[in-house]
Chain A
Amino acid sequence: MQDQRLVESLQAGDEQAFRGLVQKNYGSMLRLALTVIGNRSVAEDVVQETWLGVLRGLSGFEGRSSLKTWIYRILMNRARSAVTGESRRKALFSEQDAVFPETEPSVPAGQFTAEGKWIQSPSNWASSPESQLLSKETQEVLAQAASALPAAQRAVLQLHDVEGFRSEEICDILALSSANQRVLLHRARSKVRKALAKHEEGVK
């Protein structure tokens, strides 16, 4: 409903509405485009083209998905057609990365006994002061771990845990099955947790 009202405002030429929509989404759109394309200036062009495409296609928006999902789908289409040659394989990551067997378990095998039990119980993060998790240092560890992820994992993590898209919407945007979407999400989160744990061990 709110989407419909926003679309009407845009069609009426409401600049504030357009500015607000762009401001709210530009940063994460550029981040996703960068993840897919890997080249900043091409990614910036793709985001720009996406907004032009959004305006031109606005009268065709039927509200079957949210406006945001619709915009991100246009973004992914543009991003995919923008890349050619070697990088094309990476941009079309969809199912491939997910079905590709991960050699790394979520937790290193050495942390479990032969029976699969913890050798040493994970430390209690819930009791560490919030300020520690929000510290600049931790934020850097986090950002670094996220940027080290394979493209498909990074894209799913960003859409799900940063942008708050629902799983069905992510499947729609990235053309993934829901099982593969969850596999990618789990691998991404597990790696980021591992990086935070390693950092925390070092701090102690």
Chain B
Amino acid sequence: MNPKELVCREFVELVSDYLEDALSPADKARFEKHLRECDGCERYLDQMRITIESVGSLSVEKMQPETMDEFLHAFRDWHSES
């Protein structure tokens, strides 16, 4: 077996580096070659892409209305002082 050939177990560890465009040209070529030849890893990459997209929809903390009032109060104070 050619030692330069990527196997699936290695492929999954390189996905973020690939998506972040942080692989060296040689590693990127090996990654893309494996991707073309392996259905399993193509699906895995899709799963990671879908995961990233879904993470983007995670909700953040809510703000209480009183909190905004406090902030606006501080803003007015700040502006009148400056």
CB-CB under 8 A for A23 and B7, given A125-B47, A125-B50, A185-B16: no
Cβ-neighbour of A146 out of B58, B63, B70 (below 8 A): B58
What is the distance, in angstroms, from A191's C-beta to the closest C-beta of chain B? 10
B32 within 8 Å of A (CB atoms): no
B54–A196 CB distance below 8 A: yes
B46–A15 CB distance below 8 A: no
Cβ-neighbour of B82 out of A11, A15, A126 (below 8 A): A11
Number of A-B contacts (CB under 8 A): 143
Cβ-neighbour of B60 out of A31, A48, A116, A192 (below 8 A): A31
Cβ-neighbour of A27 out of B9, B60, B76 (below 8 A): B60
* A167 contact set on B, CB distance < 8 A: 20
Q: Can you show 17 pairs from A to B with CB atoms below 8 A apart?
A: A13-B76, A15-B76, A31-B61, A48-B67, A48-B70, A55-B75, A105-B9, A109-B9, A116-B8, A117-B40, A142-B54, A162-B55, A164-B56, A182-B22, A186-B17, A193-B48, A196-B47
Report which A residues bind B (CB closer than 8 A): 11, 13, 15, 18-19, 22-23, 26-28, 30-31, 34, 44, 48, 51-52, 55-56, 105-107, 109, 112, 115-118, 121-126, 133-134, 138-139, 142-143, 146, 157-158, 161-162, 164, 167, 178, 182, 185-186, 189-190, 192-193, 196-197
